[in-house]
Amino acid sequence: MRKKVKNSIVITILRFNMYKRIPVSTPTGLALTAISTALVCVATIAFSFYVPQTRGFFNIGETMVFTTAILFGPVIGAFAGGAGSMLADVLLGYPHYAPATLIIKATEGAIVGYLSRKKPKFNPKSWKAFTFLIGLIIGVSLSVIGAIFYTGEVELALGIPQLIALNTVFSISSTFWYVIGALVVVLITLVGLIFEPEIGWLVFTTLIGGSMMVTGYFIYQQFLLFPLFNIQVVAFAEIPINIGQVLIGLIVTIPIVKMVTRSIPQLKR
């Protein structure tokens, strides 16, 4: 009986997915939207680094924003990304970022969800070259930004600060980021050459959505945060932080999306 119910849920999801969009107004759509929103919120809260210069924080919420948008489309991606991330801001004690987060993360989810369904038609060789180029950009960017802004002693906060005080301090060397960057280049290139040349498009769509997020927060911090909340910050300080957030988010997102679509092939576009 349980297996039959599970299969019926999967079939319903796939039926909606054939139209490249899951209607949010349906029971299944509402359930997926609620679950996705909760996952975005939890992922954002789970690991966070406080950034004193901007009174904000680094987090891994991009992982679920990207994953939700790619799997379920721009509508659910926008709602889950905006509402889930905004709720996390409030719970983590950053309500001054909540209004901007709602708009910025919703736009990010919509962009990624939309572009992931607009894959251009290239020949296999062009896709392999495109994927290699994207992988090289990601790997080099991660190495440089990590080595400059994420080395030395860092403090990691786990959970909601007001409820759980689980902080840990540790040190990260620049070598760590160089190794990670090299591995990213190698892995993306190998996947593109051997398994799926078109994977570069998913990486590219997350970069476009992530770039909008970086730009949106910079504009908010530079021009709106002080007039609205009387909080002065160094907006430029968070640009590399947010770029790192995007890069790590997409690196985690791609394997998750691939595992899900491998288990449910009908989710592939």
Tell me the three-class secondary structure of 70-126, residue by residue.
HHHCHHHHHHHHHHHHHHHHHHHCCHHHHHHHHHHHHHHHHHHHHHCCCCCCCCHHH
Strands 152-158 and 166-172: antiparallel
Write the CA distances from 24 to 17, 36, 80, 206, integer angstroms: 12, 12, 11, 22
Q: In the prediction, which pLDDT does 235 show? A: 86
Domain of 115, CATH number, reads: 1.10.1760.20
Q: Residue 123: what pLDDT?
A: 92
| Total tally of structural domains belonging to the chain | 1
| Residue-wise pLDDT tens digits, 125-160 | 999 999 999 999 999 999 998 888 878 776 666 565
CA of 261: how far to CAs of 14, 72, 257, in Å?
11, 11, 6
pLDDT tens digits along 201-257:
999 999 999 999 999 999 999 999 999 999 988 888 888 888 989 999 999 999 999
Mean local confidence (pLDDT), 115-123: 92
Give the DSSP H/E element, type plus range, for residue 171. Answer: strand 166-172
Query: How far is the C-alpha of 56 from the C-alpha of 97, rounded, in Å?
Result: 8
Q: Model's pTM, two decimal places?
A: 0.85
- What was the pLDDT predicted at 229? 94
**Residue 72 belongs to what domain range?**
2-267
pLDDT at 49 over 80: no
Dihedrals phi, psi of 166, to nearest 5 degrees: -115, 85
Structure tokens at 190: 């190998």
* Tokens describing residue 7: 């299969």
Q: Are 251 and 184 in contact (CB under 8 A)?
A: yes
Selection from 65, 97, 76, 61 nearest residue 28 by Cα: 76
Average pLDDT over residues 45-73: 83
Task: Read off the pLDDT of residues 8-46 as tens digits, 9 standing for 90 and up.
Answer: 545 454 444 444 455 677 888 899 999 999 999 999 988
Report how far residue 21's alpha carbon sits from residue 8's, in angstroms, rounded to the nearest whole number: 18
Cα distance between residue 87 and residue 61, in whole Å: 12
Plot region of 190 (φ>0 → left; ψ -120 to 50 → alpha; else → beta): alpha
Q: What angle do CA 111, 117, 118 make, to 5 degrees?
A: 90
Token readout for 129 is: 């070259």
111, two tokens: 């962009």
Tell me the backbone φ, ψ of residue 63, rounded to 5 degrees. Answer: -55, -50
